[in-house]
Each structure stands twice: as C-alpha cells, then as structure tokens.
Chains A and B, each alone.
Chain A
Amino acid sequence: MEKKPHTDHIYIEALLKNDSRILSKLYEKFSHKIVAYVRNNNGNADDAQDIIQETLVTIYHQAKEKNFILTCPFDAYFYLLCKRRWLNELKKRGTNRVTIIEDEASIKDEHKQEIEETELFEQQNQLFESKFKELGIKCQELLKATFKIKSMEEVAKFLGVTYGYARKKKSQCMGKLTQLVKNSNEFKQLKDF
C-alpha cells in the first residue's frame, strides 16, 4: 500500500537534498523544545545539538535506504526520538539521577509506530556497524570497496586481485559478518528477523 506523506514530509525531503533553507526552518521550529528538555535533564546545549544532529542523520539514512515516508506531524515524532536518544545517552554515561518522565499518552499509536520503526532501523544499523568493525581489516577493505565501486571487475582491479578471488572473498566476508550478527546478543533483541 502506498502511504500518503504528511505535509511535514518536506523535512525528510530536505534531509535527502541537503536543503539548508528548509533545514534551517526545522531548527528554528523544533530545536528549542529539545534543548529545553535536555537542559532540564542533566544536559547542556551542546548535548542537545549532538542529539538533534544524530537523530536527523538517522532519519536521513532511513529515508535513503528504506524510502521512509513520514505520515505524521514531524514535531511529535522528532521530539520523542530525540528524547529517547537522550535518555539512552544518560544511561550510557551512568547518570542515575532521576529524570523527568513525561506523559507520552498524547502521542497517537500510529505515530508511535513510526517512531519505533526509526529506532529499530537505528538499532539494526548500529549492530551491523559494530560487527563490521569486528571483521579483519582485509575483509573490511574488500567489502567497503565492493559497496562503493559496485562493479566487481573494478573492485578486483582496485585491490590488485583476480575477479574470481574478489568474488569469492566477498561472499566469504559477508558470510563471516552474517555469523557475527546472528550470534550476537543484540540480534536476539531485534524483532525484525
């Protein structure tokens, strides 16, 4: 089924096009609330800036890879994503002070679904990325080359190996990575598979 984009989908389009005009509207309209939240919860403006930027980069990747369509207002969606990211960050920093727990009942269920989709997308990406880094340096280089260059012939040329070898190596490295992901603890928590 084709989803109908919300008017606020312009912000997603702006991320894809790196459109600074619309993106500055986004900052103008939505950043204050997030800065205030972070400040009230053991953080400062710099923390808020990071949280906002990382959230936007995640949305950008989701839109690129999955053709993400925003069907709810950007405001609530974005605010909640940033908020949860900040709470995670606090957990990582080991801050145990009680934080303000706000009522989330005002968020509609269908919007929650979009928020969860984005979060799931990010968890999966983080898992893939961290397992990728566990691969040997040779595998990392080869895979990076395959995904950037696309044509296997050129990858082989670039790495100075034969085509057959490059191909065989690629599926080997990918197989290794598949195993790493499959056997990780984080993977068991991902609902997608």
Chain B
Amino acid sequence: MEELRYNEFENYLKNELTEIEKTTFEEKLQSDADFKQEFEIYKALETSLSSKFENEENEQELRKTLTNLGNEYIKEEEVTKKKTKVISLFNYKKLMVAASIALLIGFFIFKNGNPVYSDFANHSNLELVVRGDSNETLLKAQEAFNAKNYKTAFAQLTVLEKEFPNDIEIQLYKAICLLELDKFPQADSIFNSIGEGNSALSTKATWYKALSLLKQEQFKACENTLKTIPESAEEYEQAKKLLKKL
C-alpha cells in the first residue's frame, strides 16, 4: 500500500500519469492531509538531493576558490589591518573635499537653467583588479578608467569583454566610456540591454541611460527614464535629485 503511494508520487512528479489519474491524485492532495504532507516531503527531497548531487563537482570547485581566498585574506588580516585604516581616512578626506567642491559648483550652476550632465556623472571607480590578480588588461582598463582616460579604457574593456563574455560589470563600464566619448547610440543600446535584464546592475544601467539622455539634452525622455527607477534602488536618491532639476 505504502509502496504504491510512493510510486504514484514518482509518476506524478515525472508527469507520467494520465489526465484522469492526475485529477484523482490532485483531489487526494486536497482531501488527505497525510498524503499531502508525505508528498511535500517527497518532492522537497527530490529537489534537494537532485540539486546537491548535480552540483557536487561545482561545489568542490567553489570550495577550492574559497579556501584559497580564505588563506589569502584571513591569514593576512593582521598584517593589512593598519594599512586599510590609513587608506580609508585618506579616502574620507578626499571625499570631504570632493563634496565641498561639488557643493560650491552646485551652488552656482543649479541656480539657472537645465541640469548638466557633468554635475551628475560621478562614476564610481572601476575596481576590477583584486589582490593576487595578475591580469595585465584588467589593470590597464582600471587605471585608464579611473584616470578618466576613456579612450584607452574602452579599448582595454573591449579586449576584456572577449575574455569574460558574461561579466556585466565590464559591459556597463564599457558603455560608460562610450557615453563619455559621446558615442550615444552604442552606449544607449548597452544601457538598454543591461537595464532590461535582471542582473544586480540593471538599475544602475537605467540610471546611466537617463544620464545619457541628459547629455543629449533630451530632457523629457530623461525624465521618463528616471521615473522607472524604483524607490528601493541605490540610485533612487540621485534620480530624485535630478528629477527636481528637470
């Protein structure tokens, strides 16, 4: 009797029941609480074990990466502690200076007329290179971008894109370079495709699409794009600020 029940579970999950059998099965799920509970467990076991065994090799690979990183960052932690503190203080100071300059400029510019692209285009630094990384192209791309040398950065990022075809961050920064170089159609098409996707960078791409429209002085379109940025997004505050000026 019990055995029959599990066989039925199996057939249902594999979609191997006839329409009539399926209806009877689903009715039983509704009416028989014990049957339903066992089915839920059976189903959860099936998903869980199949995912676990399918990904066994990948898990091992991931563990190797994590062990290496752990050895590198956690064992070294004591040594680098001091250094990090100094850097962050330095960054903090830099930030304060930048903020007060921005405030001053803002004070003069925002008084009249339409907002300007350069007031809002504060690109966060490209951080592709991490400790222990020896990829020459990554380093070059990063240095060029952060030094606002967008032409070189664009060339390096194009090379990198071939190496890491799935890396959305690289695509986004490539598009930012294009935007800085006034190559709008190319830039916009990348912002659009990332913006429509479901990656973690999609709202950031939408924000940049708005910036691109701003630079092209298409204020109405810019406004409409900004309105699609949800309140929960990191870019929302900036978007709100820009909307006010439009």
Contacts and interface: CB of A to CB of B under 8 A. Distances in A.
Interface of A: 2, 4-10, 13, 15, 17-21, 23-25, 27-28, 31-32, 35, 45, 48-49, 52-53, 56-57, 60-61, 64-65, 71, 124-125, 128-129, 132, 143-144, 147-148, 167-168, 170-172, 174-175, 177-178, 181-182, 192-193
With a 10 A CB-CB cut-off, give which of B37, B44, B45, B203 has the most chain A CB atoms: B45
Contacts of B127: 25
Nearest to B130: A24
A83 B77 CA distance: 18
A62 to B, nearest CB: 10
Contacts of B54: 147-148
A77 to B, nearest CB: 14
Contacts of A167: 10
A171 B6 contact: yes
A61 B2 CA distance: 31
Which label, helix, strand, loop or mixed, suits the secondary structure of the B interface?
helix
B64 to A, nearest CB: 9
Interface string B25-65: 00000000000011011101111111111111011011101
Which label, helix, strand, loop or mixed, suits the secondary structure of the A interface?
helix
Instruction: List the 6 shortest-distance A-B pairs measured between CB atoms, nearest first.
Output: A175-B6, A9-B200, A65-B51, A147-B53, A27-B73, A49-B70
Interface string B65-89: 1111111111101000100100000
A52 to B, nearest CB: 7
A177 B3 contact: no
Given A24-B133, A171-B9, 11 more contacts: A5-B199, A7-B234, A15-B62, A17-B166, A27-B73, A56-B62, A125-B48, A132-B49, A147-B50, A182-B37, A192-B44
B161 interface: no
A128 B62 CA distance: 22
Interface residues of B, number: 65
B201 A10 contact: yes
Contacts of B204: 7
Contacts of B202: 5
B230 to A, nearest CB: 6
A9 B169 CA distance: 12
B6 A178 contact: yes
18 contacts: A4-B233, A7-B234, A13-B199, A18-B58, A21-B133, A24-B69, A24-B72, A32-B81, A45-B74, A64-B51, A125-B52, A147-B52, A171-B3, A171-B10, A174-B9, A175-B3, A177-B45, A181-B41
Nearest to A39: B77
B167 to A, nearest CB: 8
Interface in B206-244: 230, 232-234
Contact of B49 (A2, A21, A147): A147
